[in-house]
């Protein structure tokens, strides 16, 4: 599986630890930064990773910031993305099994390296078996309706009076 990973500066050290762990697995890793402890805005990294998923350049992703909340919110603003905050093994498994989440997010200031690696391992070792498919389909349908309505409004506003 091709896995994207990205963080802001608050998540840099944890991202590097997860990268080291993943380098010993069969997964192909794409690192979207950041590449140091210098300040980086988490939405920039989250959008880049989300776009890569949308374009099918990667299969799944791990995003990290201080709490995991900011990158989760940012990733979920990208159309078609389902990101889930996971700080324990059960949540990581359910993110994939129940919700087909393409992204899990972690808070570097919330969980330690050992737990984070177990969470990532749990997330990557399960596949969506269409659990809660009806609910996931509803999310997608509502998102598509919202986007269609928004596109209609933009098109209507662009016509000359």
Catalytic residue among 37, 65, 72, 160: 65
Please, is 26 exposed, middle or buried when counting C-beta atoms within 10 Å of its C-beta (0-12, 13-18, 19+)?
exposed
CA distance 79 to 37: 29
Which pair of structure tokens corresponds to residue 94? 């359910």
- Residue 72 annotated among the catalytic residues of the structure: no
C-beta pairs of 138-141 under 8 Å, 24+ apart in sequence: 139/82, 140/80
Instruction: Give the CA count within 13 Å in the CB-facing half-sphere of 103.
Output: 34
What residues are annotated to the active site? 65
């Amino acid at each position: 599986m091709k896995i994207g990973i990205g963080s802001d500066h608050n998540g840099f050290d944890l991202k590097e630890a997860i990268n080291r762990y993943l380098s010993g697995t069969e997964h192909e890793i794409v690192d979207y930064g950041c590449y140091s402890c210098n300040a980086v805005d988490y939405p920039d990294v989250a959008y880049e990773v989300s776009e890569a998923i949308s374009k099918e350049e990667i299969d799944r992703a791990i995003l990290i910031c201080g709490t995991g909340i900011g990158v989760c919110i940012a990733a979920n603003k990208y159309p078609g993305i389902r990101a889930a905050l996971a700080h324990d093994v059960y949540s990581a498994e359910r993110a994939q099994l129940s919700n087909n989440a393409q992204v899990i997010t972690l808070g570097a200031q919330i969980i330690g390296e050992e737990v984070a690696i177990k969470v990532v391992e749990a997330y990557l070792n399960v596949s969506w078996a269409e659990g809660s498919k009806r609910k996931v389909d509803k999310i997608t349908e509502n998102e598509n309706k919202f986007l269609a309505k928004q596109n209609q409004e933009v098109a209507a506003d662009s016509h000359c009076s």
